[in-house]
Amino acid sequence: MEHKTLTKNAGKTAFGTFLSRLLGYARDMLVANLFGAGMFADAFYAAFRIPNLFRRLFGEGSFSAAFIPVFSEYLHTKEKSETQKFLNAVFTALAAVLVIVSVLGMFFAPVLVKIIAWGFTNDPEKMQLTVELTRLMFPFIMFICLAAFLMGILNTLHSFFLPAFAPSALSMSEIFYMLAIAPMLGGGNQIKGLAVSVIFGGALHFIIQYPQLKALGWRLKLQLGIRSQESGVNGGKAMPFYKHEGIKRIGLLMIPSIIGLSVDQINSFVDTICASFLAGGSITALYYSNRLMQLPLAIFGLAFASVSLPAMSKAYAQKDIAALKDSLNYSVRFAVFTIMPAAAGLIAIGLPAVRLLFEHGKFDYAASLMTSSALFYYSLGLPAYAMAKIFANAFYSFQDTKTPVKAAMWAMFLHVILCVILMYPMEVGGLALATSAASYFNVLILVIYLRKRIGKIGLKKILFSSLKSFAAAVLTAVAAFYACKISPILFISVPAAIISGAAVFFVSAKILKAEELGAFMRMFKKSEA
């Protein structure tokens, strides 16, 4: 895929994600204002992480990594009727699995909570509330994973804006609840109502994408019996959906990628377990700091990750390895270029930003300090988070889900060790630092394996480009830090710091002749259109 097409698609994804994240931060500010960083918020976010693990397995994570390359192959090598039957079989199988997982999750909620938030056992009230919230939110995974399935289809069909914007449905549902319904409730009922609003948000996420699928000439249908070319050899009888050849291939690809692609979520669970032994509010601080860090990562880093997988999968299906390498190299360079200044800015003005966004109502200065500490160390790993996703996508594009598992396993071991070592001397900051260090280690291993698999991938060009981005990012941090001191009023100083830092970065990139600057400006123009 040409660079211009990649940039155009990434721009659409980035713009949709930006709008979605704005609503997400509005939601988070309302939650912080209503519940602060105390027991209710800790219980809610701990409970929310449990269905999110399964979301990574059957949604945007291992399932998408296995599904998109296989769907891309069907799309470019088989007739539309056969591809439609493949989609129906996958939809039916996924829906059946999700129903079973939802029921089992609700039944085993007490066991799951004890595993994920072990430290809550010392507080029976918090433990019981977390169990109740987990049961309420578990059906969320059924809707959100089917929505992720739709997103994978639409991205492969080169529709990027709507799938990127659709996650805002969850934010809209929660915002509506907190503004219109929560004031009429009290105590524990408020947080339970928030959990119910999560389910409605997941359903809406699916619903708003489906018309786009139909507009592109495709549909989804629950179909227990599938007639396909594979069934034709058996007298033309319809075969059970789960025996479809495509289902088998996706299942085999998912087995190893469940661990490999879920490494970030598993690391988050380790953080949650460790944080449950630290001071009250630690889990909430990790959540809000991670949310802030995720904004630039989702807008720019994961935007290119989202468009790179379909692009590389298509290149591999057409046996064009040179195009695959070119898409990979360009995506990594561009992701680093956009992520570096964001990381620098968060490091420089993390505390003022946290105070501006969240220090309202029950969320006090102590909670801001704790959150900014975690944000500082999470931000150090921003480039690694983006690169790891893109390098892993290269393996998924040629349907190799085993190799990323090896890298993920080693990274997880390092993460656990560092968490145990750093959690008490550095508290939540140590947990965030462990995540960042493990992510860089993951990237290193992925690069080594990738070079062995497909040869040179242009590392010198990536390194040279990254050094330019790093130099410009350092100047960005300095500019943002001092600009933030112009006024004690956060509504003035934080925007001033962001504008000053961005201006310095663009000027520095221009002076350094960063090739990615021109591409970035084109992406911005496309997303505006």
- Residues contacting 103, CB < 8 A, separation 6+: none
- Count of domains for the chain: 2
- Looking at the structure, do residues 238 and 326 belong to the same domain, yes or no? no
Q: Report residue 273 as tokens.
A: 């377990």
- Looking at the structure, do residues 357 and 303 belong to the same domain, yes or no? yes
- Looking at the structure, do residues 251 and 266 belong to the same domain, yes or no? no
* Confidence band of 228 (pLDDT split at 50, 70, 90): low
How far does Cα 381 stand from its chain's mean position? 15
Using CA atoms, how far apart are residues 449 and 455, in angstroms rounded to an integer? 10
Q: Provide mean pLDDT across the span 311-319.
A: 81
Domain boundary among 255, 286, 314: 255
Domain boundary among 206, 235, 255: 255
Q: Centre a 10 Å sphere on the Cβ of residue 488 and count the other Cβ atoms it contains.
A: 8
- Looking at the structure, do residues 101 and 240 belong to the same domain, yes or no? yes
Q: Are 398 and 69 in contact (CB under 8 A)?
A: yes
Q: Which pairs from 188-192 meet CB under 8 Å and 24+ separation?
A: 188/40, 188/129, 190/34, 190/35, 190/40, 191/35, 191/40, 191/43, 191/44, 191/129, 191/133, 192/132, 192/133, 192/136
Does any domain span residue 482? no
- Looking at the structure, do residues 314 and 220 belong to the same domain, yes or no? no
The three-state DSSP-derived secondary structure of 3-71 is: HHHHHHHHHHHHHHHHHHHHHHHHHHHHHHHHHCCCHHHHHHHHHHHHHHHHHHHHCCCHHHHHHHHHH
Percent residues over pLDDT 90 in the chain: 28
Q: Provide mean pLDDT across the span 303-311.
A: 78
Instruction: Print the domain residue range for 200.
Output: 36-255
- Looking at the structure, do residues 407 and 445 belong to the same domain, yes or no? yes
Q: Report residue 282 as tokens.
A: 């630690």
Q: In the prediction, which pLDDT does 326 show? A: 86
Complete DSSP assignment for 465-502? HHHHHHHHHHHHHHHHHHHTTS-S-HHHHHHHHHHHHH
- Looking at the structure, do residues 297 and 330 belong to the same domain, yes or no? yes
Does any domain span residue 17? yes
This prediction's pTM: 0.73
Does any domain span residue 219? yes
pLDDT in tens, 15-52: 888 888 889 888 888 887 888 767 788 888 888 877 77
- Looking at the structure, do residues 312 and 441 belong to the same domain, yes or no? yes
Per the listing, tokens 């912080």 go with 32
Does any domain span residue 525? no
How far does Cα 170 stand from its chain's mean position? 14
The candidate with the shortest Cα–Cα distance to 52, out of 264, 282, 294, 194, is 264
Does any domain span residue 524? no
Q: Which pairs from 196-200 meet CB under 8 Å and 24+ separation?
A: 196/136, 197/173, 198/48, 198/137, 198/140, 198/170, 198/173, 198/174, 199/136, 199/137, 199/139, 199/140, 199/143, 200/173
* Confidence band of 516 (pLDDT split at 50, 70, 90): confident
Does any domain span residue 65? yes
Does any domain span residue 363? yes
Q: Report residue 203 as tokens.
A: 């359903």
pLDDT in tens, 319-367: 888 888 888 888 899 889 989 999 999 999 999 999 988 887 777 888 8
Opening angle at CA 196, ends 124 and 93, nearest 5? 105
- Residues contacting 170, CB < 8 A, separation 6+: 24, 27, 144, 198, 201, 202, 204, 205
- Looking at the structure, do residues 351 and 238 belong to the same domain, yes or no? no
pLDDT in tens, 396-419: 888 787 888 888 889 989 999 999
Domain boundary among 442, 457, 472: 457
The three-state DSSP-derived secondary structure of 202-229 is: HHHHHHCCHHHHHHCCCCCCCCCEECCH
- Looking at the structure, do residues 197 and 273 belong to the same domain, yes or no? no
Q: What does R_g of the chain's alpha carbons equal in angstroms?
A: 23
Using CA atoms, how far apart are residues 432 and 426, in angstroms rounded to an integer? 10
Half-sphere exposure in the Cβ direction for 37 (13 Å, CA): 24
Q: Centre a 10 Å sphere on the Cβ of residue 498 and count the other Cβ atoms it contains.
A: 16
Q: In the prediction, which pLDDT does 263 show? A: 63
pLDDT in tens, 471-490: 999 999 999 999 998 888 88
- Looking at the structure, do residues 186 and 162 belong to the same domain, yes or no? yes
Percent residues over pLDDT 70 in the chain: 92
Does any domain span residue 508? no
- Looking at the structure, do residues 103 and 199 belong to the same domain, yes or no? yes
